[in-house]
Chains A and B, each alone.
Chain A
Amino acid sequence: MTKVIAIVSGILFGYGLALSGMLSPAKVIGFLDLTGDWDPSLAFVMGGGLIVTVISFRLLLRLPHPLFGDKFQVPNRTDLDKRLIAGSATFGIGWALGGLCPGPAISSLAYADPRIFIFFASMVAGIWLAKTLLPQRAQSAVAN
């Protein structure tokens, strides 16, 4: 059952990204371009997602264990450390340069654009470098 959930959830996510506009780097940059020709659409993507998750996560995480599975693999750290902030800020720089974050970069492989493959391969290399060069924390590996 968890395998069926994984693939159905993935299909929904990929379709949702395509519908939302997130698959276009130009649309992402338009959203980040506050002082230019600002396109606020992508705030509606996060808003739409949060309308659902703020309610559903609250209800689901009250359960002693998942409906389909043994235990919740949810991050349990609450401290704010430098790695969280520096890593996220680094991600933001790359996001602004390419207009792609991980979900859209993977989904867009469907459209066979060589530029997406270049970005995807570099992203995989970036993850590998970080995992290889920096000490990993067990919890952050589960986190996201």
Chain B
Amino acid sequence: MENFTPFTSLSGGIILGISATLLLMSGRIAGISGILGGLIPPASDDKSWRVLFLIGLVTGAALFPLVGGDTDYIDVNPYNFEESIHYGILVLAGLLVGAGTNIGAGCTSGHGICGLGRLSARSLVATLSFMASAIIVVFVIRQITGG
């Protein structure tokens, strides 16, 4: 538990909640997979707010280190895969995340923060589903890699 960061994680989470609240003031749900999905063919008609939100998303992360935030904690290869294997895993992971969130109508933000926020039973079931499968997969990989 040496990496435990309850205060920054809670603060970050509160900012996510404020962001989702602000977006709902314009009638929209802050579900990132759905916001992106609406731009992918066949795209929805309301592209401009989606593009602006996603530009903001990248900008917000870019601003973080500029105002003194520490990004050294970011480790993109937690299982220490060999480089070529890691690239293959990332392709597979990306395909599964893209297809899965589209089929399941949401991701960590749409179901986890917005859906649970409005006490949606569908979002509770979805959140339990992706948490459970993710925990099982991490357990299996840990057994295989011995780490």
Contact = CB atoms under 8 A, between A and B. Distances in A.
A93 B105 contact: no
Contact of B97 (A2, A38, A100): A100
A70 B20 CA distance: 18
Contact of A96 (B64, B122, B138): B138
Interface string A72-97: 11110111100111111111111111
Interface string A9-37: 11111111111111111111110111111
Main secondary structure of the interface of B (DSSP, over half): helix
B12 A9 contact: no
Contacts of A61: 24, 118
B133 to A, nearest CB: 3
B123 to A, nearest CB: 8
A102 B121 contact: no
B75 A131 contact: no
B97 A143 contact: no
Interface of A: 1-3, 5-30, 32-42, 44-54, 56-58, 60-61, 65-75, 77-80, 83-103, 105-111, 113, 115-116, 118-131, 134, 136, 140-144
13 contacts: A11-B63, A17-B61, A25-B75, A49-B117, A67-B26, A91-B97, A91-B101, A94-B93, A96-B137, A119-B93, A123-B98, A130-B103, A141-B38
Interface of B: 1, 3-6, 8-34, 36-38, 40-42, 44, 48-50, 52-65, 69, 71, 73-79, 86-87, 89-122, 125-127, 129-139, 141-142, 147
